[in-house]
Amino acid sequence: MTDTSIASANSPLYAGRRRRNAIAKSLALAATIFGLGWLVLILGILIYKGIGGLSLSVFTEMTPPPGAAGGLLNAIVGSLILTILAVIIGTPIGVLAGTYLAEYGRHDKLSSVVRFINDILLSAPSIVIGLFIYEVMVAPMGHFSGWAGAVALAVIVIPVVVRTTEDMLTLVPDTLREAAASIGLPRAHMIVRIAYRAAQAGIVTGILLAVARISGETAPLLFTALNNQFWSLNMNAPMPSLPVVIFQFALSPYEEWQKLAWTGALLITVTVLALSIIARSLTSARKSS
């Protein structure tokens, strides 16, 4: 018995298996370092290039004409307005649809179709959403507008919120629902007063993730909100936004513009990463409690 095991431990077959195992393990380690390396590289260069341009004037001055100094104020404000409006339009629809999937029609045919379609919308190319809003809003109205931009972003918000709302409501234990039903509480009241309250943190996480997603979106804004070199709060006119300004400035030959593009890129990335980290900590805090 001992003889054979020693023999097999030294056999070429066993050595080969061990070697293969070692190679696979080091490849896995290398792949992980490779993946993390990109993150460090991208963030590092972003900070290096963006931090130099970061000054008070970025937040107080308008986007400059070519060759002049300026800031990103109108783009930042435009982005804020578009994002907030998109969330105001998209969240109620998303939460209600998610409620239907989790509470009323958890197992019916309609829900499984909606769930499937929602998943498709969740990963649909955002530029196609832009084309869609162009066709239904910009072309009939005859001009680009902030409203079109906000609606395009709302279309991206909806599937994210639907998905997280449904997931979070499904996690609420059914005993809570049964307790509510047993004291005669109608379903709608049970959902609003009990299920929503229990799933609150999760639903907020979904909304935050949606905000993180749309605050960096460029493609759907290119031909809906377009861009605007000037200060504008008119929702019926083209509206500037940070991502579109970055796109325009980065591809320009002017050094000041490119510098502002890097600064804007840093601002967006910090915002998006902060949002997704906050969202994550919200749910993990809930899980551990």
Question: Among 20-28, 59-67, 71-79, 80-88, which window interacts with other proteins (CB under 8 A)?
Answer: 20-28
Binding-site member from 212, 225, 239, 260 for other proteins (CB under 8 A): 212
Site for other proteins in 248-267 (CB under 8 A): 250-251, 258, 261-262, 265
Cβ density class 163-196: b for 16+ within 10 Å, e for less? bbbbbbbbebeeeebeebeeeeeeeeebbeebbb
For other proteins (CB under 8 A), the number of binding residues is: 91
**Cα separations in angstroms, 21 against 8, 10, 154:** 17, 16, 49
Q: Does 203 bind other proteins (CB under 8 A)?
A: no
| Euclidean distance between CA atoms 253 and 258, whole angstroms | 8
Q: Does 31 bind other proteins (CB under 8 A)?
A: yes
Q: Does 186 bind other proteins (CB under 8 A)?
A: yes
Residue 203 or residue 219: which is nearer to other proteins going by CB?
219
Site for other proteins in 54-83 (CB under 8 A): none
Q: Which residues contact 175 (CB under 8 A, 6 or more apart)?
A: none
Binding-site member from 80, 110, 171, 179 for other proteins (CB under 8 A): 110
Measured in whole angstroms, the distance separating CA 61 from the mean position of its chain's CA atoms is: 28
Question: Among 24-32, 58-66, 72-80, 199-207, which window interacts with other proteins (CB under 8 A)?
Answer: 24-32
Q: Does 87 bind other proteins (CB under 8 A)?
A: no
Long-range contacts of 60-68 (CB under 8 A, 24+ apart): 62/229, 62/230, 62/231, 63/229, 63/240, 63/245, 63/249, 63/260, 64/256, 64/257, 64/260, 65/229, 66/252, 66/254, 66/256, 66/257, 67/254, 67/256, 68/256
Site string for other proteins, 125-164 (x = CB under 8 A): xxxxx-xx-xxx------------------x--xx--x--
Binding-site member from 54, 62, 216, 237 for other proteins (CB under 8 A): 216
Residue 74 or residue 271: which is nearer to other proteins going by CB?
271
